[in-house]
Amino acid sequence: MMGRTHMAIGFLVGLLVLPFVQPDNSLLFVFLVTFASLWPDVDHENSKINRLLPITRWIPRVFVHRGFFHSVFPALILYGVFWYFGLAWIGLPLALGYLTHLASDCLTRLGCNLLHPVSTFRIQGFVWTDGLVEFALFGVVVVLDVVVGVMRFF
């Protein structure tokens, strides 16, 4: 999926999870989920995250796209590191956003191997990246973002 779709879905998930985690700062929580929803694509040369953070542009030269960074392990490591340092309140939204990206990529034709490199099992869907179905999904999610956002914050 495209970065805009990942961000829209991440934003929606952040809003929907708020009542269950009740963070001290709801806006920061939603921002972190949304931002982290871009992170798995750090292994793709032209990704939005590599345009936002040029320091990460070396990663696609070392890692294959939809390999290790598209598995659950980076999200677990990310959460574990923040938890270890007493910052689970940051690790949770980052891991949630990361996993949201993986879940949405499982809907695409290329799919995701959530246990790479341990397994070769791949979950694949029917959505073509940057295709009509993704565009429609993006539109629906943006409408839901607005509706749920208004309900949560106003």
Q: What is the pLDDT of residue 71?
A: 97
Segments making up each domain of the chain, as ranges: 3-153
Q: How many CB atoms lie within 10 A of CB 114?
A: 20
Q: What is the pLDDT of residue 64?
A: 87
Q: How far apart are CA 65 and CA 37, in angstroms?
A: 16
Q: How many CB atoms lie within 10 A of CB 124?
A: 14
Q: What is the pLDDT of residue 153?
A: 81
Q: What is the pLDDT of residue 154?
A: 80
CA angle 111, 38, 113 (to 5 degrees): 25
Give 88-121 pLDDT, tens digit per residue: 999 999 999 999 999 999 999 999 999 999 999 9
Q: How far apart are CA 92 and CA 44, in angstroms?
A: 24
My answer on whether omega of the bond before 117 falls inside 30° of 0, hence cis, is: yes
pLDDT band at 80 (very low <50, low <70, confident <90, very high): very high
CA distances from 2 to 67, 126, 153 (A): 17, 15, 27
Residue 9 has pLDDT above 90, yes or no: yes
Q: What is the pLDDT of residue 152?
A: 86
Question: Residue 127 in contact with residue 141, Cβ under 8 Å?
Answer: no
Q: What is the pLDDT of residue 143?
A: 98
Taking the whole predicted model, whether its pTM rises above 0.85 is answered as yes
Q: What is the pLDDT of residue 151?
A: 93
